[in-house]
Structures are given as structure tokens and as C-alpha cells.
Structure 1
């Protein structure tokens, strides 16, 4: 029988110095923890992604090729066939969504895991569309109806998508998004 780990009780409502031996290095080079408000446009605006979708960018990590965002499909629609070159973790925040290539439908609170080398076509039939929180690593290749590569979206594409929109709209670029 596995031993069940229990969190130690604590009644101390203040910072506890754990005495980490390398804290001086962490303090010197770490960008530190941060909070990004995803409910409002204070930290990141909704950036159009085609005619009926938008992306709220939440994090860009150029060292690991990771980006995080919320994809909002504003009504029934399709995000074209794409191939992942890295791992994708998504949570359905609102509505429902599925891939044409699978027999499941993700609902609110559902976890979607994707592995490198898979291609699929994202579809929502929900009248209000869907919102998906994503934590993505590596490039995503988008293909047309004839399997011709039309765009590669990676951390650099996502940063440019965000920054160009901010410049066009006169919105300051939020440095908190860069980890």
C-alpha cells in the first residue's frame, strides 16, 4: 500500500525563510514569480487570430521555446489542420471543443494533452465557441486543405503577434509576459 503524503499543518501566516543554499543565485538570475490577470485586458489584450478567433498571450519563454495563451473561438468554427513539434497542454475554460481526428469532446474543465508529431483540426460547434488555456512548447505548423505548409507559429511568432498588435493599438508591451 502506498504511503499517502500529508501536507504539514501550519498556522503561521507570514513568510518562512527556508534557508535555501542557492537563494543568492536565484535572486540574481531568476525573473521571479509573477501574476498575469487573464480575466481583464490589463496585462494582455485579446489579439485577433483570423476573423472569428482571438488570442490572449500570457507568457513567452524563449529559452525553452514555450508560450502560453488563451485561444478564444468566438462561435462555431475551425482552427485549421496543424502539426505540433512539441508538447501541448490545454484546459477547456468555456464551451466545448474537439478534434476531427478523435472521438472525444472536451468540455469545461477538461484537460487536453497533445504530443509532438500529431496533426489535427480543432473544431467547436458550441454556439458560444470556446476558450482554451494552453501551455505549448515548440512550433506549430499550419497546413492548407492540400497539406501545404502555410505558417509556422512558435514562441517568436507569438511574441511578434502580440507586439505588433500592441504597437498598432498604442498599448504598452507588458514585460511581465517574458519569463
Structure 2
């Protein structure tokens, strides 16, 4: 009976030439791996998102309507009621956050999973607000306090949000953010 692999071996610190039949095709068509510095404004600035929040854009993938960013709520506040048409995966980086519609509170290191078709209202009561890393797919519809549709945000909206801010402030647009 063969022993099942428990973890990949990792006894070398050098590049291994892996045989890969599609190496040339990947090199020609893949946007490639990249590193985005999320700790500073070198790769992406904080872009205002309402009066008490900002977004640091990390990636835009127009092929799948997928986008990644850090949402920073700078103090106690709310991100309006919204309906997800795609999936969202978030990690609480700092502070704490909750949804009015749920009975849990997200704290640093916690994973938040949102499924399509759910509407909710994001709130932080933490005195220093919160930062959330998010990986989102699909459009998000925003509604006012009466349930009236206001706007839809998606990868195209987030690209405009980022690019318009950069143009207004003389910041070069970082092509590394586009997958």
C-alpha cells in the first residue's frame, strides 16, 4: 500500500525546472504573478468611499468581474444596504465589523463569506473603525433606507473609482492591478 503524501517536500531553495508542456503558451498569454504592496501607497492609494471610508484597490479582473481591495472604515459607521449578485470573501484585518442582519461580529483574522442573493448592511462600532480585505465577484447593488435601488458597482465601477482618483491627483495608474 502506497503512503499518502502528507505535505509536499520542501528541501531545496532553488528554482526547479518543472516540465510543463504549455510553458510557452503560458508565457505568451498569462498576465503572470505579481506582488501588490498593500501596506503603503506605492502600488495603490487610498481612494475615498463616502465620508468615513476609503478603498485601496488591489486587483481588477474584467474577464470574470472580480476585484480585490481593502475597505477602511475610519471610525464608527455604516456602508449602506447592498445586495450581492456574486460571492464575496473577506478577512477582517483590524477593528471589528458586523452586519445588522446577522448575530456575529468579525474580528481580526476572521473570515467573512457572503453568497449571491443576500442583502445586508455593514456596520462598525469600533472606535478606530476596521479594515477588511475583500475578494469580490459580480455586481453589488446599493439601496437607500426605503429599499429604493441607487446604483450598481462592479469591476468596471471600481476601475473608474481608482482611475478617476489617480487622474485627479496626478498619480500614475498602476498596470499591475489589472489581471
- TM-score when scaled to structure 2? 0.97
After superposition, residues 47-66 of structure 1 pair within 5 angstroms as 47-66=47-66
Unaligned runs of 5+ in 2: none
Q: CA deviation at 1:5?
A: 3.9
Q: Deviations over 1:101-129 (max 9, x none)?
A: 00000000000000000000000000000
- Name the counterpart of 1:134: 134
Residues 29 and 140 of structure 1: is their aligned pair in 2 closer, same or farther, counting only changes over 3 Å? same
Root-mean-square deviation (CA, aligned residues, Å) is 1.0
Report the secondary structure of 1:122's partner residue: strand
Q: Which residue in the other structure is 1:40 paired with? A: 40
3-state SS of the aligned residue for 2:168? helix
Q: Is the alpha carbon distance of 1:11 and 1:48 closer, same or farther for their aligned partners in structure 2, counting shifts above 3 Å?
A: same
Sort the Cα spacing of 1:4 and 1:112 in 2 relative to 1 into closer, same or farther, 3 A: farther
The Cα shift of 1:4 comes to 6.3
Runs of 4+ in 1 over 6 A off after TM superposition: none
Q: Distance in 2 between matches of 1:102 and 1:9?
A: 42
What stretches of structure 1 of length at least 5 have no aligned partner? Answer: none
1:18-167 alignment to 2 at 5 Å? 18-167=18-167
Using structure 1 for the length normalisation, give the TM-score: 0.97
Which whole-Å CA distance do the structure 1 matches of 2:25 and 2:48 have between them?
40
